[in-house]
Amino acid sequence: MVRLKTAVYCSLILALFCAVAGGLFLSQIQAEEDPGFKEVMPDAAGFQAVKKGQEVEYYRAVDKVNKMIGVVFKASAKGYSSAIDTLVGMLNDGTITAIKVTSQNETPGLGGRVSESDFAGRFAKKKIDKLGEVQAITGATVSSNAVIAAVKAKAEEIKALLQNGQ
């Protein structure tokens, strides 16, 4: 009987430890993504994942009263020499608030310039149908056109989902 009580007690302690550690781990993952989210959607008070199966399709950006003001999504494309991953903020009307290149391994000084604020700033306040007007970086047209195309394609996809109530 004493062994059973000890086993139950140890199991409860282990379960409590796992719950606390798991919550801390999840908080750390959220803390790593949220600063980027706030960079591309600064007016949002919070973000809510919208999933299709197990995969996150996009994040609803909400204000202080939990009203959706836009979305944050990830767009990826093959650049000149690597995959380029981008985080994008978009208002409900399809206006891009900002983009942030989160990962790339393009040639430094050329394609790597897609990570610079000058290029990212070219997307601000552009509607989806005007993203084709974003000027590519001289000497890095493959990389910058890849980002432009990825952002435009994913923005159109997310906008269609939103119009269909998803």
Mean pLDDT computed over every residue of the chain: 83
Structural domain of 94: 40-163
What are the angstrom distances between the C-alpha of 35 and each of 51, 90, 150?
20, 16, 22
The pLDDT of residue 143: 93
CATH code of the domain covering residue 97: 3.30.390
Q: Is 5 helix (H, G, I), strand (E, B) or coil?
A: helix
Contacts (Cβ under 8 Å, ≥6 apart) of 67? none
Residue 125 belongs to a domain: yes
Percent of the chain exceeding pLDDT 90 equals: 64
Strand order in the sheet with 83-91: 46-52, 55-62, 68-78, 83-91, 95-103, 126-127
Residue 28 belongs to a domain: no
Is pLDDT of 26 > 70? no
Instruction: Write the pLDDT tens digit of every residue in 99-147.
Output: 999 999 888 888 888 989 999 999 999 999 999 999 999 999 999 999 9
Q: How many domains does the chain have?
A: 1
Residue 56 belongs to a domain: yes
Residue 150 belongs to a domain: yes
